[in-house]
């Protein structure tokens, strides 16, 4: 009888529980509340409608300007450009997964793809933070504590900016010349982009050092009142994140170069400029907090970089058409990537019951 009583008292401790960040202690009955379920469903519906509305508005708003350029593109260029964008998104997902691993957790590739590729749809809601909020929420549902998901996103974004600024050096001379010889609104945006690159790159390099990055992470955990890391971030971990991020931005640049190559023949110089300018454009777009996915700011940098190659094909007008076609292709790629990631995760979630994240052994 003593043994039976012991087993009964131990049973609650071994019963499966949701993520520790999901509910406070003693709040186990809350998920069974009908009101809570309806509120959760309502929030999901609102988020889905907001994302769909943002994506629809983005396409409809750009179509009059991009129509002639889009219809003039060969389908091979469009298909390869979509493929390059998709591969770049996968590379950025691997960068986030590498950041999670260096923070002491292991996330399956399928779960990471679902978290990042579905979560990035939040960027179509005005306000740059929504993609990260959605990504953190999807991470929690997969079993990763909110604090670790937030830190992984912070680390991957920060090191991604470092990689992007490094690649941006490839296009700085061309962008500087374009800004110096132009007094249009595009030139103003390019000048702002150059100042951001000049100011951030040295800071980003210092912050990317594992010792400095670990100190920043520990400070963040202290502010969040979470337990500190038990180990420092490592050089291999940091280099993996930077390497995957650089590959992602490189593929995004290839995506742009394929579109420009359909209108002109930019060659190797154009490829380097496309990679560098796209990396700068996406980095600067992060600071356009009120614009969905950096709309407008990103295009200004790309137009300045592409216009010299397209003088015989329409100059600034053709460059704007390609920049907008690039955004339209990214919208298509976002939908494809999120759809495939969500579908591929359904079977695994049913089989594993959502247990796709496990703490690393330390």
Alpha helix stretches (DSSP H) within 181-315: 185-207, 210-223, 235-261, 267-285, 297-306
- Which pLDDT score is estimated for 328? 87
> What distances in angstroms separate CA 53 from CA 40, 48, 286, 357, one per listed residue?
20, 9, 21, 32
Helix (H/G/I), strand (E/B), else coil: 141: helix
Distance CA 170, CA 269 (A): 9
- Which pLDDT score is estimated for 21? 41
Model confidence over 127-181: pLDDT tens digits?
A: 667 888 889 989 998 889 888 899 999 999 999 999 999 998 877 776 676 666 5
Give which of 49, 42, 74, 100 is closest to 241, Cα–Cα: 100
How many residues make up the chain in this entry?
362
pLDDT tens digits in sequence order for the chain, 362 residues long:
444 444 444 444 434 334 444 344 334 444 446 666 666 556 666 666 665 666 566 556 666 756 777 777 888 999 999 999 999 999 999 999 999 999 989 999 989 999 999 998 888 776 667 888 889 989 998 889 888 899 999 999 999 999 999 998 877 776 676 666 555 555 666 677 677 777 888 999 999 999 999 999 999 889 988 888 888 999 999 999 999 999 999 999 999 999 988 777 677 878 888 998 899 888 877 766 555 555 667 887 888 778 777 755 566 777 888 888 898 899 899 999 999 988 876 666 566 554 445 555 43
Model confidence over 201-233: pLDDT tens digits?
A: 899 999 999 999 999 999 988 998 888 888 899
- Which pLDDT score is estimated for 92? 97
- Which pLDDT score is estimated for 27? 41
Mode of pairing for the β-strands spanning 357-359 and 105-107: antiparallel
Q: Can you read off the two tokens belonging to residue 352?
A: 């594993």
- Which pLDDT score is estimated for 68? 74
* Residue 156, C-beta contacts closer than 8 angstroms, at least 6 positions apart: 92, 95, 96, 98, 99, 241, 245
Distance CA 111, CA 149 (A): 13
Q: Are 95 and 244 in contact (CB under 8 A)?
A: yes
* Burial (CB count <10 Å: 0-12, 13-18, 19+), residue 243: middle
Residue with tokens 């023949």: 265
pTM of the model: 0.78
- Which pLDDT score is estimated for 266? 74
């Amino acid at each position: 009888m003593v043994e039976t009583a012991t087993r009964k008292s131990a049973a609650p401790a071994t019963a499966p529980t949701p993520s520790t960040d999901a509910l406070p202690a003693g709040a186990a009955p809350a998920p069974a509340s009908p009101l809570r379920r309806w509120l959760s469903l309502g929030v999901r519906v609102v988020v889905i409608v907001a994302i769909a509305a943002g994506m629809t508005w983005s396409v409809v708003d750009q179509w009059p300007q991009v129509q002639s350029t889009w219809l003039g593109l060969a389908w091979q260029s469009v298909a390869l450009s979509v493929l390059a964008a998709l591969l770049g998104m996968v590379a950025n997902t691997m960068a986030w997964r590498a950041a999670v691993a260096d923070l002491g957790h292991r996330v399956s590739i399928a779960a990471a793809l679902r978290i990042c590729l579905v979560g990035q749809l939040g960027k179509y809601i005005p306000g740059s933070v929504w993609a990260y909020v959605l990504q953190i929420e999807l991470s929690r549902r997969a079993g990763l504590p909110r604090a670790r998901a937030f830190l992984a996103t912070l680390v991957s974004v920060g090191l991604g900016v470092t990689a992007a600024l490094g690649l941006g050096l490839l296009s700085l001379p061309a962008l500087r010349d374009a800004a110096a010889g132009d007094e249009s609104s595009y030139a103003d945006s390019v000048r702002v982009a150059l100042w951001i690159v000049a100011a951030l790159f040295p800071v980003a390099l210092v912050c990317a050092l594992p010792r400095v990055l670990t100190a920043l992470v520990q400070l963040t955990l202290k502010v969040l009142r979470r337990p500190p890391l038990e180990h420092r971030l490592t050089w291999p971990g940091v280099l993996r994140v930077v390497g995957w991020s650089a590959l992602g931005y490189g593929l995004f640049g290839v995506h742009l170069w394929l579109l420009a190559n359909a209108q002109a023949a930019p060659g190797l110089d154009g490829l380097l400029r496309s990679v560098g300018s796209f990396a700068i454009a996406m980095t600067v777009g992060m600071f356009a907090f009120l614009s969905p996915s950096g709309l407008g700011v990103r295009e200004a940098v790309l137009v300045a970089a592409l216009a010299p190659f397209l003088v015989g094909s329409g100059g600034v007008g053709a460059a704007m058409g390609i920049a907008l076609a690039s955004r339209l292709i990214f919208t298509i790629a976002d939908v494809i990537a999120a759809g495939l990631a969500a579908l591929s995760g359904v079977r695994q979630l049913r089989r594993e019951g959502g247990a796709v994240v496990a703490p690393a052994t330390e």
